[in-house]
Amino acid sequence: MNDEPTPATETSPTRAGFVALIGEPNAGKSTLLNRMVGAKVSIVTHKVQTTRARIRGVAMAGDSQIVFVDTPGLFAPKRRLDRAMVAAAWGGAADADLVVLLVEAQRGLTEGVERILERLNEIGEGARVALAINKIDRVEAPVLLGLSQKLNAAYPFVETFMISAEKGHGVEALRTWLAGEVPAGPWLYPEDQIADLPMRQIVAEMTREKLTLRLHQELPYQLTVETENWEERKDGSARIDQLIYVMRDGHKGIILGSKGETIKSVSKAAREEMEEFLGRKVHLFLQVKVRPNWLEESERYSEMGLEFKDGNQ
């Protein structure tokens, strides 16, 4: 498979557009985005609600540039952060040229998927939505067929795809279809750019992923990571200083671990991934700070690319 973009000619005009990936938490949106783009631009963990910002990944397919909006998983919001994440997800869907709804084959037509379909119907006509049933390798063919029929009866999808984002099955067919459906027009980004997030935010997400993987169920949603300083060194390496904000003193102890073992392990894993991503040596320094009210601070939301809303909006 040749992923190199073909230079546009007068007879083959370029195309470019935004594609929103929506679905329940853990439906596989981040995995699909990373496979489409060919690089890790969205964190992938076994825990739900890990994608906070509307990360855009840029994929090339022939003369087409597909700009993916990887939205936070859609769920019933309770806290201010939850509400901001869900608002960002629907904002991404409303602004996109095309929407791809990911449904996990094993879970099928859940209450969460039903709520999403209701909201899609509310958005009204004009929304072009494709269905991608993901993790197809985990269920039998008759179950897949039944699920596809049920979902298509519930909403007028323009196309249906059976995929495994993790293994790559069906992903190329989806990419090719999207490439032909995005509007004709000039590319929106340089062809070698894979994401519009600042590099500082991408590496902060890498560290947050390692923390999420390492820590127990609740704490990951009580912390955030910010890249405080990025220094380019003469030898070509980079020094990256990051702050990990937590809400309680007890959380700080959990992140540090016995004799600093946990933070060292997280730092090592994050640094290695940054070095692979950036293609050079990285000196990573992590510091943990207690900020009891960080979930209520507008600056933290801006850092994550989310809108800060007052009260119960």
Res 107: pLDDT = 92
| Confidence class for position 84, pLDDT limits 50, 70, 90 | low
Mean pLDDT, the chain, rounded, equals: 77
Res 72: pLDDT = 54
| Confidence class for position 248, pLDDT limits 50, 70, 90 | confident
CA-CA distance, 141 to 237, in Å (whole number)? 50
Q: Please, which contacts does 260-264 make with residues 24 or more away whose CB atoms are closer than 8 Å?
A: 262/214, 262/215, 263/288
Highest mean pLDDT (candidates 38-42, 183-187, 274-278):
183-187
Contact assessment for residue 304 and residue 52, using Cβ atoms and an 8 Å cutoff: yes
Higher pLDDT, 307 or 190: 190
The arithmetic mean of pLDDT across residues 60-75, rounded, is 73
Res 188: pLDDT = 80
Structure-token match 């090339």, residue found: 60
Contact assessment for residue 175 and residue 36, using Cβ atoms and an 8 Å cutoff: yes
Q: Examine the pLDDT at 123 and tell me if it is beyond 70.
A: no
Residues 108-120: tens digit of each pLDDT:
999 989 988 887 8
| Confidence class for position 233, pLDDT limits 50, 70, 90 | confident
| Confidence class for position 223, pLDDT limits 50, 70, 90 | confident
Fill in the amino acid letter for 97. Answer: D
**Would you call 31 helix, strand, or coil by DSSP?**
helix
- Quote the percentage of the chain above a pLDDT of 90: 27
Domains (range + CATH), the chain = 15-181 (3.40.50.300), 199-303 (3.30.300.20)
Q: Examine the pLDDT at 287 and tell me if it is beyond 80.
A: yes
Res 174: pLDDT = 96
Ranges 119-128, 129-138, 179-188: which has the least confidence: 119-128
Contact assessment for residue 20 and residue 95, using Cβ atoms and an 8 Å cutoff: yes
Crossing angle of helices 261-278/249-256, nearest 10°?
Answer: 70
pTM for this model (two decimals):
0.58
Res 175: pLDDT = 93
Res 103: pLDDT = 95
Higher pLDDT, 241 or 30: 241
The backbone region for 185, taken as left when phi is positive above 0, alpha when psi lies in -120 to 50, beta otherwise, is left
Q: Is the dihedral of CA 177, 181, 184, 188 positive or negative?
A: negative
Higher pLDDT, 95 or 64: 64
